[in-house]
Amino acid sequence: MLASQISGKPIDYALLQMKFSEKRASKHVGVLLEELKTKAILEKMPVKKLIVCKLVATSLRTPAMFPLKSQSSCVLT
């Protein structure tokens, strides 16, 4: 499962995982992560400290949600 692969990981690590994953949805998830990283850069967020806390995807037609938080504020369950 892609969710368990990238949950709690830094965004750069998650992008690397999606780049080399053979799973069908990994390309779509990778594109969304790239968009989020670009948005974080534009908002002057510390990209090195961002981690993917949760991955929620209902289908490939609906966009996935990636809450990004700094490492200090993310609580993993």
Give the CATH number for residue 54. Answer: 3.90.470.10
Q: Does the residue 75 lie in any domain?
A: no
Closest CA to 7 of 71, 51, 58: 51
- What pLDDT, in 10s, does the model give residues 13-62? 999 999 999 988 888 889 988 988 998 899 888 888 888 887 765 555 54
Range of 12's domain?
Answer: 2-70
Q: Looking at the domain assignment, is residue 77 inside a domain?
A: no
Please give the tally of structural domains in the chain.
Answer: 1
Q: Which is nearest to 57 in space by CA: 34, 30, 25?
A: 25
Model confidence band, residue 76 (pLDDT cutoffs 50, 70, 90): very low
